[in-house]
């Protein structure tokens, strides 16, 4: 993979209070992406408090004593910046994109809300309503989203990845100011945070600014420990079906339990990435070619592997059956493709195509500082290292057809999978 243009020089360091810093220089445009990642997500929500990680993410926009509600947002807007935040199973992240000269101001505000958040019942109550509307919009009005929620809940028999990131409505309704502050005190600490700055900056200036802002936050002594119930061995394939009058197009999904880059032995996550791509990445994949082109039982089919992840993760196979093909017939056709896939190593052509695509994606990613920042942030928040991310393409290049076959046989196992059917009302059993 010799390139004329070297990959960006990524610099990793740590403040005295434990906060990690990653700088990704990109001098093409005078803008920066500033992100702070916290190593806590919905899988760390305490019992009976599902949705608290995401609710707190919303409440982080409610201001501090020094910068009351709206001031940070107004400042970012005045500077022509963009900002937002997101919560996932394993992390919560806040980001701003703005002209480079305003980085210092931005860092001052973000550091301030890491320890000085002020919450009153007057701001907490309407924001809880906003989150309930968000849930109604994203999940409760969309049968596909409701099915996916049920599939996840069925897949994880013990681990909290089975809970939706946004939480269950009946628990969101009970979340209050005290819950939010307790959660904030526990997780919003320098030891638990990662700063990523990508764009038109040097590592030296970022470190200087970080010491002046985040560096002033006292260490707590240790990062919070997240202990989560782990999955026992799974032995039963589960079938989840949802019939709804709003469904006119049936759909199929299967979700397998699979190791992540963090939990798997060296090389296995990379083999899973290549395997998933050969099986279901794009139109030359086994699933698309067999089900859409040859057997014509599908209008779409593919597979997707979710990584990074702190604990055991998921690998999806999905498809849209052709008219007059039942979901049972479709599932049997998927099983036949997978059975064939497990018989022999993939061809040299298939292996090369998939590795080429995956490796090229890491070059394409260099065109977008925000994508790079996101890639590094998510990986570090889940327990990977900067070297792990930087060496990803090289490791993908080393994956062999035998590796692909081995992980396929090990993990494409229906006993640790859930199959989901999305059905029109009249097909309901």
Site for other proteins in 23-52 (CB under 8 A): 26-31
Q: How far is CA 373 from the centre of its chain?
A: 13
Among 12, 13, 18, 134, binds other proteins (CB under 8 A): 134
Nearest of 341, 338, 322, 340 to residue 330 by alpha carbon: 322
Q: Which stretch binds other proteins (CB under 8 A): 47-55, 333-341, 368-376, 378-386?
A: 368-376
Helices (H), 281-411: 286-287, 327-341, 348-364, 369-381, 386-390, 392-397, 401-411
Question: Does 54 interact with other proteins (rule: CB under 8 A)?
Answer: no
Q: How far is CA 42 from the centre of its chain?
A: 11
Among 115, 211, 226, 357, binds other proteins (CB under 8 A): 357
Q: How far is CA 416 from the centre of its chain?
A: 21
Q: Whole-number minimum distance, CB 371 to other proteins, in Å?
A: 8
Among 48, 104, 236, 360, binds other proteins (CB under 8 A): 360
Helices (H), 188-288: 203-212, 268-280, 286-287
Question: Does 99 interact with other proteins (rule: CB under 8 A)?
Answer: yes
First to last CA, the chain: 54
Question: Does 428 interact with other proteins (rule: CB under 8 A)?
Answer: no
Q: How far apart are CA 315 and CA 162, in angstroms?
A: 14
Q: Which two tokens stand for residue 81?
A: 């910046």
Among 217, 242, 251, 255, binds other proteins (CB under 8 A): 251
Among 284, 326, 400, 427, binds other proteins (CB under 8 A): 284
Q: Considering only residues 182-211, where is the footprint of other proteins by CB under 8 A?
A: 199-200
Q: Whole-number minimum distance, CB 179 to other proteins, in Å?
A: 17
Yes or no: say if 306 and 269 are a contact pair by the CB < 8 Å rule. no
Q: Which stretch binds other proteins (CB under 8 A): 11-19, 207-215, 338-346, 351-359?
A: 351-359
Q: Whole-number minimum distance, CB 143 to other proteins, in Å?
A: 9
DSSP string, 37-69: EES--GGGPPTT-TTHHHHHHHHTTSBBSSSBT
Look-up: residue for tokens 């928040």? 381
Helices (H), 156-198: 169-172, 177-187
Among 247, 303, 310, 405, binds other proteins (CB under 8 A): 247
Could you count the other beta carbons within 10 Å of the beta carbon of residue 349?
9
Q: Considering only residues 142-161, where is the footprint of other proteins by CB under 8 A?
A: 142, 144
Yes or no: say if 379 and 39 are a contact pair by the CB < 8 Å rule. no
Complex with other proteins: residue 1 or 387, whichever CB lies closer: 1
Q: Which two tokens stand for residue 155?
A: 């897949």
Which residue of the set 20, 57, 83, 163 is catalytic? 57
Q: Whole-number minimum distance, CB 239 to other proteins, in Å?
A: 22
Question: Does 82 interact with other proteins (rule: CB under 8 A)?
Answer: yes
Q: Considering only residues 304-343, where is the footprint of other proteins by CB under 8 A?
A: 320, 322-323
Phi, psi of 114 (to 5 degrees): -70, -25
Question: Does 348 interact with other proteins (rule: CB under 8 A)?
Answer: no
Q: Would you call 231 a catalytic residue per the annotation? A: no
Question: Does 243 interact with other proteins (rule: CB under 8 A)?
Answer: no
Q: Whole-number minimum distance, CB 203 to other proteins, in Å?
A: 17
Q: Which stretch binds other proteins (CB under 8 A): 45-53, 179-187, 258-266, 278-286?
A: 278-286
Question: Does 353 interact with other proteins (rule: CB under 8 A)?
Answer: yes
Nearest of 205, 219, 150, 185 to residue 40 by alpha carbon: 185
Among 11, 223, 239, 299, binds other proteins (CB under 8 A): 299
Q: Which stretch binds other proteins (CB under 8 A): 14-22, 36-44, 82-90, 152-160?
A: 82-90
Q: What is the pairing mode between strands 417-424 and 251-258?
A: antiparallel
> Residue 318's beta-bridge partner residues?
253, 302
63 CB burial (10 A radius; 0-12, 13-18, 19+): buried
Question: Does 173 interact with other proteins (rule: CB under 8 A)?
Answer: no
Site map (CB under 8 A) of other proteins, residues 103-132, x = contact? ----------------------xxxxxxxx
Question: Does 366 interact with other proteins (rule: CB under 8 A)?
Answer: yes
Among 48, 104, 137, 222, binds other proteins (CB under 8 A): 137
Which active-site residues does the annotation give? 57
């Amino acid at each position: 993979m010799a390139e004329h243009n070297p990959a960006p020089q990524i610099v990793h360091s740590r403040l005295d209070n434990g906060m990690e810093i990653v700088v990704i220089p990109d001098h093409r445009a005078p803008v920066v992406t500033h992100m702070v990642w916290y190593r806590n997500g919905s899988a760390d929500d305490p019992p009976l408090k599902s949705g608290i990680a995401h609710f707190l993410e919303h409440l982080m926009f409610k201001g501090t004593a020094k910068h009351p509600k709206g001031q940070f947002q107004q400042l970012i807007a005045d500077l022509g910046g963009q900002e937002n935040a997101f919560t996932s199973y394993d992390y919560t992240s806040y980001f701003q994109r703005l002209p480079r000269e305003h980085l210092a101001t931005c860092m001052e505000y973000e550091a301030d809300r890491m320890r000085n958040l002020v919450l009153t019942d007057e701001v907490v109550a309407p924001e809880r309503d906003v989150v309930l509307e968000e849930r109604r919009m994203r999940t409760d009005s969309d049968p596909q989203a409701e099915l996916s929620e049920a599939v996840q809940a069925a897949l994880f028999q013990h681990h909290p990845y089975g809970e939706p990131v946004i939480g269950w409505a009946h628990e969101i309704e009970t979340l209050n100011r005290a819950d939010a502050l307790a959660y904030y005190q526990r997780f919003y600490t320098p030891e638990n945070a990662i700063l990523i700055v990508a764009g038109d900056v040097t590592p030296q200036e970022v470190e200087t600014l970080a010491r002046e802002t985040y560096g002033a936050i006292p260490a707590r002594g240790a990062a919070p420990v997240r202990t989560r119930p782990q999955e026992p061995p799974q032995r039963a394939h589960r079938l989840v079906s949802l019939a709804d009058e709003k469904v006119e197009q049936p759909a199929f999904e299967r979700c397998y339990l699979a190791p992540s880059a963090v939990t798997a032995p060296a090389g296995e996550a990379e083999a899973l990435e290549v395997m998933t791509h050969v099986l279901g990445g794009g139109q030359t994949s086994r699933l698309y070619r067999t089900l859409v082109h040859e057997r014509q039982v599908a209008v779409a089919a593919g597979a997707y592997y979710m990584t990074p992840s702190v604990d055991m993760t998921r690998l999806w196979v999905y498809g849209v059956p052709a008219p007059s093909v039942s979901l049972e017939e479709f599932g049997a056709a998927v099983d036949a493709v997978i059975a064939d896939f497990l018989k022999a190593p993939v061809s040299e052509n298939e292996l090369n195509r998939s590795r080429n695509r995956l490796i090229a994606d890491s070059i394409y990613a260099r065109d977008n500082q925000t994508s790079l920042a996101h890639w590094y942030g998510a990986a570090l928040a889940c327990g990977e290292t900067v070297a792990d991310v930087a060496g990803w393409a090289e490791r993908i290049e080393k994956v062999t057809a035998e590796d692909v076959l081995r992980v396929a046989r090990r993990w494409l196992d229906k006993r640790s999978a859930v199959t989901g059917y999305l059905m029109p009302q009249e097909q309901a059993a």
